Structure formats: C-alpha cells, structure tokens
C-alpha cells in the first residue's frame, strides 16, 4: 500500500502546469485576468451588489425591525416619483426615505407625454388605486438625454424617444441661443420638467384627484454635483386652470 511519501501515491503531474506552479489555460478559450487596482482584484459589480443585499437587509432589520413584515403585507406610498433612469438619481436615496415610501417611474430624460401607455399606467395606478398625495416629476443636471436633444448627432432608436425634447428645443430656440452651453442644458431640463407638469395637469385622473382630494403636483430639478433639490414655481393663473379642466376633465 502506498504511503504519503511514496511517489506512487501522488497524483499525476498536470501537463499544463509549469515548474513555478502556475497552471496554463489548456483550452482554446481566452483567459481573462481579473482587473487589478492597488495590488487587489476588483470585485465584480454584480457580485458586490448581490452580496451587499445581505448586509443591507440585516442592517435595516436592526434599525427597522418591523419594516419587512409591513412591506410583505402591501404598500401605501404617498409619493409618485417620475424621474430619469440616470444612475446618479436614485429617488429613495435622494429623499432620504425607506422602501415602500415612493412609487416610481423612470425613463431616459424623465420624458412625459400623453401617449405613453407605460407612464400613463403608472400614473393611473398610483393616483387611482394607491391614492398617492403627491406626484413629483424631477429632472437633473448633466442629463445625457438633454445633451443629446441639444445636439444633432444621429443616435438611432433613441432619436424617436427624444422627439419631445427636440420639439421643446425648437419652441424655445431663440431663448436657448442666447445662453452658454451649461445654461442651455439647465434651461432645457427646466423646460422639460414644466412640460411634464403640463401633461400631468391635463390627465383626467390627476384632474379628478386634485379637485376631489387635494392631490399635489411638484416640479423639481436635482443637481447631481451637489445633491440639492430645487423646486420650480409651477403655480398657474386661475383662468388657465379653469380652461384646462373644461378641456380635459372627463365624466363617467
């Protein structure tokens, strides 16, 4: 019987192993070394995010022990957030709120039009069934969608999505041409938010909720460079409100 010191007990040498003990890739597949920074391999973004879930869950369970049990029974958010899909604009983090406190809809450049079934469905569900008390439409500085709309480069499918922004650019071209590039971008963000507010104000479900239970609509701009929110003045004259209700309010 072979003993541990017996050469016969050792596994056969791997023909792909060099003398220094480093194994070569014996297949034809390309071998990709992990990225290295400061002498340490970078953790894969997905693995990091997935592993963070356990830490986040345990931490939240300690500070809010009844939260997950409550969330498991349903939701009752008071805010609908309509924002940009930009990774720098996480609504719950920006507002310092917890899961279950915001119902949200995000897309490229927080574009809101009255023919988009996706956003219209979110609005109806939030207003008619969740009974939210506030709708926030929020744009942000350094928005890639805004920059694309202010440029004239062909982008493919996204050009169709950006058409409402290009229309805003055309309508306000004289004003925009008087501004520098930074000011022009911020002004387009503001114009886009105001256009979204106008769409919300003309939505029959929103109109009913505003008159029947005081639903409020807010237009905000988030500065990704400072973390600050700025609220736009969207108050309207009484005659405009009346004409909108006459034009857009529907009855059963």
The C-alpha atoms of residue 201 and residue 60 are separated, in whole angstroms, by 37
Q: Is 140 among the residues known to form the active site? A: yes
Nearest residue to 79 via CA among 125, 148, 31, 135: 135
- The catalytic position among 89, 105, 140, 201 is 140
Tell me, yes or no, if 218 is annotated catalytic. no
The Cα angle at residue 85 between residues 84 and 89, in degrees rounded to 5: 70
SS3 state of residue 193: helix
Q: How many CA atoms lie within 13 A of 66 on its CB side?
A: 1
Residue 124 phi, psi dihedral angles, 5° rounding: -60, -45
Query: Contact at 8 Å (CB) between 111 and 164?
Result: yes
- Terminal Cα-to-Cα distance of the chain (whole angstroms): 92
Known catalytic residue at 138:
no
Q: Does 194 participate in catalysis according to the annotation?
A: no
- CB neighbour list of residue 177: distance below 8 Å, 6 or more residues apart: none
Is there a contact between 222 and 231 (Cβ–Cβ < 8 Å)? no
Torsion angle (degrees, nearest 10) of CA 84, 86, 89, 91: 50
| Number of neighbours of residue 123 by Cβ within 10 angstroms | 23
Which residue in 89, 105, 138, 143 is the catalytic one? Answer: 143
Query: Active site includes 104?
Result: no
CA 107 from centroid of its chain's CA atoms: 7
**Which active-site residues does the annotation give?**
84, 86, 88, 140, 143
């Amino acid at each position: 019987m072979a003993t541990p010191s017996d050469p016969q007990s050792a596994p056969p040498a791997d023909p792909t192993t060099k003398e220094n003990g480093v194994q070569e890739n014996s297949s034809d597949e390309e071998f990709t070394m992990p990225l290295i920074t400061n002498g340490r391999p970078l953790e894969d973004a997905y693995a990091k995010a997935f592993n963070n879930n356990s830490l986040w869950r345990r931490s939240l369970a300690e500070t809010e022990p009844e939260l997950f049990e409550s969330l498991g029974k349903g939701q009752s958010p008071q805010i609908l957030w309509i924002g940009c899909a930009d990774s720098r604009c996480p609504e719950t983090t920006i507002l310092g709120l917890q899961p279950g406190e915001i119902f949200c809809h995000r897309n490229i450049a927080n574009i809101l039009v009255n023919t988009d079934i996706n956003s219209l469905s979110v609005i109806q569900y939030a207003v008619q069934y969740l009974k939210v008390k506030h709708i926030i439409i929020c744009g942000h500085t350094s928005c890639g969608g805004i920059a694309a709309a202010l440029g004239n480069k062909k982008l493919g499918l996204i050009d169709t999505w950006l058409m409402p922004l290009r229309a805003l650019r055309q309508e306000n071209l004289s004003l925009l041409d008087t501004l520098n590039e930074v000011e022009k971008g911020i002004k387009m963000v503001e114009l886009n938010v105001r256009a979204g507010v106008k769409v919300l104000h003309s939505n029959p479900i929103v109109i009913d909720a505003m008159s029947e239970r005081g639903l409020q609509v807010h237009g905000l701009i988030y500065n990704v460079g400072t973390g600050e929110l700025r609220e736009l003045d969207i108050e309207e004259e009484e005659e405009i409100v009346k004409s909108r209700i006459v034009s857009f309010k529907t009855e059963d």
